[in-house]
Amino acid sequence: MRSIPAGFVPNRFTKLAFIALITIYLGACATPPPPKDAAPIPFPKPPDQARFYYERTIMSTGSVQRMTNNERLKSLLTGAVGRDGIAFAKPFDVVVHQGRVFVSDTVQRVVFALDFVSGEAFQIGDRGDEGDLEKPLGLAVDRQGNLYVCDNQSNKVNVYTRDGAWRYSIELKNHMSRPSGIDVSEDGARVYIVDVGGVDSDKHRISIFDTASRAHIRTIGMRGTQLGEFNLPRDVAVSSDGLLYVTDGGNFRVQIFDRDGNPIRSWGAPGRHLGEFTRPKGIAAGPDGNLYVVDAAFGNFQIFNPQGELLLYIGSRSELPGPARFMLPSGIDVDEDGRVYMLDQFFRKLDVFRPASLAENEGYLGAAADRR
């Protein structure tokens, strides 16, 4: 390395050159922000016509917060976004109501609320009252936005307002052993709770409760392989017409029941081909009437019509992170606009997919597009 001559005194020109070099160096080291005009990732891939686009990944409460002008300038100059917020530790389930995204986290023992309309984020279940959570799993919301949280550890369902205030609890101890999945009728009158049972248990069933009286109405099913029976059921979804769709994991199928729990039919089979199941997990009913089913072995979700015909699949199993790459997917939901939200416990993320019929700036989440 050449040394600087003794007695060297930098003049104005050398000072400016030095500053310019430092600026170029720092600019090269900074991570540039992702281009806003980057082409979205379509599903299915070309030449097929796109039906969904990957839209964004959410990994913390910071994803929802609006940036100040200074933060926007910093992001523009250095690529740093700031406001990291609280990162997900082990997300399990997701449910969405009018732009407010709720995510249960079993390690942090809370439900995160991320409102992409108002730009606020907060936690539910850690306020030191009767609504505190121990191991939140399944989530559901009714038409009014009330939040239903299935607490596997305390063996109860906690019900909160949309803003996170605890309202009441439904005790499950006399009826369930391992509550996990949950959904509620649109009017909020009935709540349906999955008892996953276990390998050595015969309590593989669905329980129906009346939300007004908090009374147990009926238990659906028992362990078995026949229609109306279950083997390690995982999740339940209530469609707009009131039908129940249950992922029957150990029987590798989806079962359909009426609102009173009477079995109607089932579809699905074990296998590693499209339209089959290996490890079915979460299920959601979309506003389009279709069913969205997570398979942890495939690392994707498959979209079926109500008759069980496969329409599309999105995602792939991968040990490397990236858009639509999943290692341990679990919960899924579809919002009022048709956007699909899918969680991955391994990558601790929530991927969002937009239907091709919906413009990026449309819908509840569209108003927050500039905060990515």
pLDDT band at 174 (very low <50, low <70, confident <90, very high): confident
pLDDT band at 84 (very low <50, low <70, confident <90, very high): confident
Rounded-to-integer distance, Cα 165 and Cα 175, Å? 26
Q: Report which residue type is found at 61.
A: T
Rounded-to-integer distance, Cα 199 and Cα 12, Å? 78
Length of the chain (residues): 372
What's the pLDDT tens digit per position in 180-196?
999 999 889 999 999 99
Architecture of domain 41-371: 6 Propeller (2.120)
Distances (CA, A) of 235 to 185, 248, 277, 292: 15, 8, 14, 12
Comparing 138 with 9, which gets the higher pLDDT? Answer: 138
Q: Is 40 exposed, middle or buried (0-12, 13-18, 19+ CB in 10 A)?
A: middle
Rounded-to-integer distance, Cα 322 and Cα 191, Å? 35
Q: With 60 as the cut, is the pLDDT of residue 265 above it?
A: yes
Q: With 60 as the cut, is the pLDDT of residue 77 above it?
A: no
pLDDT at 14: 45
pLDDT at 35: 39
Could you state, in order of their start, the residue ranges of all structural domains in the chain?
A: 41-371
pLDDT at 18: 42
Comparing 70 with 204, which gets the higher pLDDT? Answer: 204
Give the chain as a 3 state SS string: CCCCCCCCCCCHHHHHHHHHHHHHHHHHHCCCCCCCCCCCEEECCCCCCCCEEEEEEECEHHHHCCCCHHHHHHHHHHCCCCCCCCECCCEEEEEEECCEEEEEECCCCEEEEEECCCCCEEEECCCCCCCCCCCEEEEEECCCCCEEEEECCCCEEEEECCCCCEEEEEECCCCCCCEEEEEECCCCCEEEEEECCCCCCCCCEEEEEECCCCCEEEEECCECCCCCCECCEEEEEECCCCCEEEEEHHHCEEEEECCCCCEEEEECCECCCCCCECCEEEEEECCCCCEEEEECCCCEEEEECCCCCEEEEECEECCCCCCCEECCEEEEEECCCCCEEEEECCCCEEEEEEECCCCCCCHHHHCCHHHC
Q: Is 196 exposed, middle or buried (0-12, 13-18, 19+ CB in 10 A)?
A: buried
What's the pLDDT tens digit per position in 121-149?
999 999 888 999 999 999 999 999 999 99
Q: With 50 as the cut, is the pLDDT of residue 352 above it?
A: yes
Rounded-to-integer distance, Cα 230 and Cα 263, Å? 11
- What's the mean pLDDT in 330-349? 98
Q: Is 227 exposed, middle or buried (0-12, 13-18, 19+ CB in 10 A)?
A: middle
| Tokens found for residue 34 | 């992702």
- What's the mean pLDDT in 27-48? 64
Q: With 60 as the cut, is the pLDDT of residue 278 above it?
A: yes
pLDDT at 40: 83
Q: Order of strands across the sheet with 52-58?
A: 41-43, 52-58, 349-355, 340-344, 329-334
pLDDT at 79: 42
What's the pLDDT tens digit per position in 214-226?
999 999 999 999 9
